[in-house]
Amino acid sequence: MVVCACNPSALEAEAGGSLQIQSQPGPHDDGAGVRGSHVDRQLLVHTMEELERTEVVLLACGSFNPITNMHLRLFELARDHMNSTGKYRVVKGIISPVGDAYKKKGLIPAHHRVTMAELATKTSGWVEVDPWESLQKEWVETVKVLRHHQERLEAGSCHQWQNSPEQEKPSRKRKWAEPRQNSTQKKPLQPNTKAAPQVKLLCGADLLESFGVPNLWKSEDIARILADYGLVCVTRAGSDAQKFIYESDVLWRHRHDIHLVNEWVTNDISSTKIRRALRRGQSIRYLVPDPVQEYIQEHGIYSAESEDRNLGVVLAPLQRNIEEDAS
Amino acid sequence: MKNRIPVVLLACGSFNPITNMHLRLFEVARDHLHKTGMYQVVEGIISPVNDNYGKKDLVPSHHRVAMVRLALQTSDWIRVDSWESEQVQWMETVKVLRHHQSQLLRSATRMEGLDPDKPPSDLTAAPELKLLCGADILKTFQTPNLWKDSHIQEIVEKFGLVCVSRAGHDPQGYILGSPILSKYRHNIHLAREPVPNEISATYVRRALSQGQSVKYLLPDAVIGYIKDHGLYMTDSSQKGRSTQRNKGKTS
């Protein structure tokens, strides 16, 4: 069955015992982290249940042209959902803006898009930006980006892995090339050999449905993404997504690897609409984080001209897949 | 910007809590009025409702005012006003409008008084005060006994309405269906939100009570305040009870 959080009270039921331990939230608790309790025995049981959970890293690929509050909400909704199943613990979120070689119409230079995403995630304790994909000369298929990040996590887990319930983002900017170091003082709760977290692809329903666009995805890539990694898909129309999965053989085969998360608050803050509003001199405040809005204003990066970038150019995946089919 | 009519936008409501959607109303309304070429929006005011309004789950007004203040820290044109919330009892929206209008008149005459040699200009003339709301409020004018007819008339005749569209509402239809609204149609400005955004405070309260994240739905500073003060930890909205008195205010 497709895992679907269609009923908010079902979320609570699924949460089970380990999430019912509540204490007064402190100023640093942003709402979905593990809460401690005062009783040692409860803490031990709590910890044991935590250890049985699979750690997950949510990876979002996309243009982020520009990043919006909707993108950021995807992470929050997905984390809440995965954590509440009792089977997973989301330890990190990664935003991976696509490279310029993707050739999408209106795509502005990657360094702007990466910077805006970094500004947007400054106040997040667990979501960060990774520029690796954007720095590659050629466009990189999504499955390869997933593979890159999974391999990195596995390399990092050979060192002492984090033992905190959630990965705290260090405040200093860190070069992503270094394996993650435990910068916080946390008492180790278990031996060093811990499995690396699982990377899952975070997306909206539009990505799920894009699997149906001819030549946009290689079918073996779709299967690999689902089988080796898994999808966390945030959607407002849960039944449409379920229908789409039902009607696709490859999605149906991997339905257990697709987690559908319901978005109750219709949140249509699409980047396309943001760019349109900007061209028309309309305000985008409160649709994107303030620092992003200020950056856009300061640099004047979106205009009628910028919207015409790559006009008439074939999208890189279409180009590549058609060429490979021809050869 | 010659000879534009200065306008102040006033939003009344529970703001329980304030969300990015509320803040968007101001931005969309200002853009809309500026595009007509006739107006210059000089200020926005958020006036949280009095505790005695009696709406379910309404947290004490000092919290709601504090949260609005935090949300507006980064705005250079919108401010919070606690006058309505500090009155002894709940008061009708038209009375809040009258209060703020007289305040604006007073400061306009004060400013002109400061420099008698300066001829009165558009900028020192008292701005027009308009009620800012979502399209759902326009619909509540139809609810029997919720608004006095004379008040509706005064609001649209003496002040004016700026109404921001919301999914599932047909503001044109509400206007056409009401003789008073139709008569003062020219004083009702319908602004379209170009980027649909249905963040409701009801949803936010429920999410908070269930320990779910509300980040990016409201300003971080407001979320921090909510956590620090343990607000919205319980939520009875799922029981679905509401009285007629509770309708008519934006959540």
Integer angstrom CA distances of residue A293 from A60, B35, B143 = 21, 21, 40
Q: Which of A246-260, A308-322, B4-18, B180-194 has the lowest mean pLDDT?
A: A308-322
Return the pLDDT at B1: 52
| pLDDT band, very low/low/confident/very high, at A185 (cuts 50, 70, 90) | very low
Find where tokens 């001199």 sit.
Answer: A281
Question: What's the rounded Cα separation, in Å, for the pair B70 and B15?
Answer: 13
pLDDT at A49: 67
What is the model's pLDDT at position A8? 40
Helices (H), B89-248: 93-114, 135-140, 149-154, 171-176, 179-183, 201-209, 220-228
| Residue numbers in A near B215 (CB within 8 A) | 30-31, 72-73, 76, 124
Q: What angle do CA A239, A241, A243 make, to 5 degrees?
A: 70
Q: For the segment A160-174, what is each residue's pLDDT rounded down to a tens digit? A: 444 444 444 554 444
Q: How confident is the model at residue B220 (pLDDT cuts 50, 70, 90)?
A: very high
Residue B59 is assigned to a structural domain of this protein: yes
What SS3 class is residue A320? helix
| Rounded CA separation A75/B213 (Å) | 10
Q: Confidence class of residue A50 from pLDDT cuts 50, 70 and 90?
A: low
pLDDT at B17: 94
Q: Which of B159, B158, B157, B165 is nearest to B138 (CA)?
A: B165
* DSSP H/E element including B191: strand B188-191
**B130 φ/ψ angles, rounded to the nearest 5 degrees:** -125, 145
Check residues A43 and B122 and name the one with the higher pLDDT: A43
Rounded to the nearest angstrom, the minimum Cα separation between B212 and chain A is 6
A 67-126 → B contacts, CB under 8 A:
69, 72-73, 76-77, 79-80, 123-124
Asked if B74 lies within 8 A of A290 by C-beta distance, the reply is yes
**Nearest of A102, A105, A106, A111 to residue A137 by alpha carbon:** A102
pLDDT digits (tens, 9 = 90+) for B93-110: 999 999 999 999 998 887
pLDDT at B14: 93
Question: In whole angstroms, what is the distance from residue A194 CA to residue A169 CA?
Answer: 20
Specify if B115 maps to a domain: no
Q: Which residues of B touch A24 (CB under 8 A)?
A: 230
Nearest to B203 among A27, A31, A264 (CB): A264
Residue at B148 is within a domain: no
Which chain B residue is nearest to residue A272, measuring alpha carbons?
A: B195
User: What is the distance between the alpha carbons of residues B121 and A38, in angstroms, rounded to a whole number?
Assistant: 66
Mutate to test the interface with B, among A11, A71, A76, A286 (most CBs of B within 10 A): A286
pLDDT tens for residues B129-163?
999 999 888 888 888 888 999 999 999 999 999 99
Q: What are phi and psi of A56, to 5 degrees?
A: -130, 140
Which residue of B203, B217, B227 is in closest CB contact with A25?
B227
CATH code, B18: 3.40.50.620
The answer to whether residue B89 sits within a structural domain is yes
Instruction: Convert B192-229 to b/e letters by CB count within 10 Å (16 or more is b).
Output: ebbbebbbbbebbbbbbbbbbbbbbbbbbebbebbbee
Which two tokens mark A202?
Answer: 């975070």
Are the beta carbons of A19 and B167 separated by less than 8 Å? Answer: no
Render the burial of B147-176: b for 16+ CB within 10 Å, e for the rest. Answer: beeeebbbbbeebbbbbbbbeebebeebbe
| B195 Cβ contact partners less than 8 Å away, ≥ 6 residues apart | A268, A269, A270, A273, A274, A277, A284, A287
pLDDT in tens, A314-324: 888 888 888 88
Which of A38-52, A107-121, B221-235 shows the highest mean pLDDT? A107-121
Q: Strand pairing partners for B79?
A: B45
pLDDT at B91 over 50: yes
CB B231 within 8 A of CB B63: yes
What proportions of chain A, in percent to the nearest 5, are helix, strand and coil?
45, 15, 45
Give the pLDDT score at A288.
Answer: 92
Q: Which tens digits make up the pLDDT trace of B146-205? A: 899 999 999 999 999 999 987 778 899 999 989 999 999 999 999 988 887 778 888 899
Q: How many CB atoms lie within 10 A of CB A151?
A: 12
**With contact defined as beta carbons under 8 Å apart, do A162 and A126 qualify?**
no
Q: Is the pLDDT of residue B63 over 50?
A: yes
| Share in percent of chain B as helix, strand, coil (round to 5) | 45, 15, 40
A327 interfacial to chain B (CB closer than 8 Å): no
Q: Provide the mean pLDDT of chain B.
A: 87
* CB within 8 Å: B210 and A11: yes
Q: Which residues on chain B are in Cβ contact (under 8 Å) with A30?
A: 213, 215, 223, 227
Give yes or no for a contact between B120 and B113, defined as CB atoms under 8 angstroms apart.
no
The single residue listed with the structure tokens 């939100």 is B193
Residue B218 is classified by DSSP as: B
**Does residue A247 register a pLDDT over 60?**
yes
Does the pLDDT of residue A79 top 50, yes or no? yes
B123: pLDDT strictly greater than 90: no
Asked if residue B129 is part of any domain, the answer here is yes
SS3 at position B243: coil
Shortest distance between the Cα of A63 and any Cα of chain B, in A, equals 19
Size of interface A-B (CB pairs under 8 A): 98
**Residue B12 belongs to some domain of the structure:** yes
Asked if B200 is an interface residue toward chain A (Cβ–Cβ < 8 A), one would say: yes
List C-alpha distances in Å: A165 to A56, A80, A217. 12, 14, 36
**How many percent of chain B have pLDDT more than 90?**
66
Q: Are B31 and A290 in contact (CB < 8 Å)?
A: no
Position A318: which residue type?
A: L
Per-position DSSP letters for A251-302, written without gaps between them? HHHTGGGEEEEE--S-B---HHHHHHHHHTT---BTTB-HHHHHHHHHHT--
Q: At A182, is the pLDDT very low, low, confident or very high (cuts 50, 70, 90)?
A: very low
Least confident of A72-81, B196-205, B239-248: B239-248
Complete DSSP assignment for A45-113: HHHHHHHHSEEEEEEEEE--TT--HHHHHHHHHHHHHHHHTSSEEEEEEEEEEPPGGG--TTPPPHHHH
Q: State which residues form the domain around B27.
A: 5-110+124-134+188-229
Confidence of residue A46 (pLDDT cuts 50, 70, 90): low
| pLDDT beyond 50 at B76 | yes
Rounded CA separation A157/A195 (Å): 7
Q: Which candidate from B27, B199, B215 shows the least CB-CB separation from A283?
A: B27
Q: Mind listing the pLDDT tens digit for each residue in A257-307?
A: 999 998 877 767 889 889 999 999 989 999 999 999 999 999 999 999 999
Q: What is the largest CA-CA distance in chain A?
A: 66
Query: Scanning every residue of chain B, which has its alpha carbon at the shortest distance from the alpha carbon of A283?
Result: B27
Smallest Cβ distance to B213: which of A31, A267, A273? A31
CB pair distance less than 8 Å for A277 and B212: no
Q: Report if residue B182 sits inside a domain.
A: no
User: Measured between CA atoms, how close is B198 to chain A, in angstroms?
Assistant: 5
Nearest chain A residue to B219 by CA: give it: A286
Q: What percentage of chain A has pLDDT greater than the value 70?
A: 72
Report if residue B118 sits inside a domain: no
Domain count, chain B: 1
Q: What mean pLDDT do residues A230-255 have? A: 89
From the list A8, A29, A273, the residue facing B195 with the nearest CB is A273
pLDDT tier at A45, thresholds 50, 70, 90:
low
* Secondary structure in 3-state letters for B115-154: CCCCCCCCCCCCCEEEEEEEHHHHHHCCCCCCCCHHHHHH
Distance separating alpha carbons of residues A205 and A244, to the nearest angstrom? 10
Question: CA-to-CA distance for A241 and A3, rounded, in angstroms?
Answer: 12
Higher pLDDT: A16 or B54? It is B54
Cβ-based contacts of A277 with chain B (< 8 Å): 194-195
Residue B126 has pLDDT above 80, yes or no: yes
Rounded Cα–Cα distance for residues B218 and B17 (Å) = 9
Among B30, B212, B216, the residue with its CB nearest the CB of A80 is B212
Q: Which residue has the higher pLDDT, A315 or B10?
A: B10
Partner-chain contact B194 A282, CB within 8 Å: yes
Letter for the amino acid at A211?
F
CA distance A82 to B43: 43
